[in-house]
Amino acid sequence: MKVLILGGFLGSGKTTALLQLAHYLVERSQSTQKTKVVIVENEIGETGIDDKVLRGSGLQVEDLFSGCACCTVSGELTSAASRIRKDFNPDWLIVETTGLAYPRLIRDNLQAALGLSSRICILVDASRWKRLLRPMYNLLSGQIVGADVVLINKTDLVNEETLAQVEADIAAFDPLPRVMRISAQNRIPAAVWAQVLGE
């Protein structure tokens, strides 16, 4: 079971991108596993919203509400991941984090508790980046540092100058992640998913 942690600030387009990714994985899979992808949907609120959207698309979803998997419900996440591996052993476990999570802490927890290595993909909202950067600086930088891939989303809503600035800010946080531009409202190319999945 491979693990992908999909993170990014609130409203960055995680669920929209995840819908595409999950269907991409299911469609191209050669695996004989009955369950190819399981999603753990972590929401900070006390009621689920995105899980309904994902289930409505026919995906297998496990809920983790009312806390953040990087801290307050980290134990519940490792329990869920262990159970999913035992019960389904899917090709991929995708953890959609809350918009307040630091994904590398989740990666560290899964590694320490279960020996699972994870990839981290962070989504960034290009249209709100400038407005959020100062008040949310610690959170935005903390989410990006240590990521494998950063997807700059909503590129259709901003100009080239803004995109170049977002890329420069991301590189200043951490020069190592592969940074790619997308618009999750449209079809995301397979080449992007190959980078996200580390293929």
Partner 1 sequence: MEKHDHSHHHHHENDNCDCPACKQEQAQPNWIKMHQHDDAAVISARCTFLARPETAGDVIAEALQELAAVIAEKGGIIGHIKATLESTTLEMFSLTDRAVSRKKQPNETMTLQLVAIVFLLVPEEAKKLVEKIVLKKLQSLS
Binding site for partner 1 (CB under 8 A): 9-11, 43-50, 52, 63-68, 70-73, 76, 99-100, 102, 105, 131-132, 135-136, 138-139, 142
Pick between residue 70 and residue 182 the one whose CB is nearest to partner 1: 70
Least CB distance to partner 1 at residue 136 (A): 7
Least CB distance to partner 1 at residue 76 (A): 8
Q: What is the DSSP letter of 45?
A: S
Pick between residue 36 and residue 154 the one whose CB is nearest to partner 1: 154
Least CB distance to partner 1 at residue 194 (A): 29
Least CB distance to partner 1 at residue 33 (A): 25
Q: Token pair 């600030």 is at which residue?
A: 9
Pick between residue 25 and residue 39 the one whose CB is nearest to partner 1: 39
Pick between residue 25 and residue 170 the one whose CB is nearest to partner 1: 170
Pick between residue 70 and residue 196 the one whose CB is nearest to partner 1: 70
Least CB distance to partner 1 at residue 96 (A): 13
Q: How far apart are CA 196 and CA 102, in angstroms?
A: 18
Compute the CA torsion angle 107, 83, 61, 66 (nearest 10 deg): -70
Sheet containing strand 92-96, edge to edge, reads 60-64, 37-42, 92-96, 2-8, 118-125, 149-153, 178-181
Output b/e per residue, 142-174; b: 16+ Cβ within 10 A.
Answer: bbbbbbbbbbbbbbeebeeebeeebbebbeebe
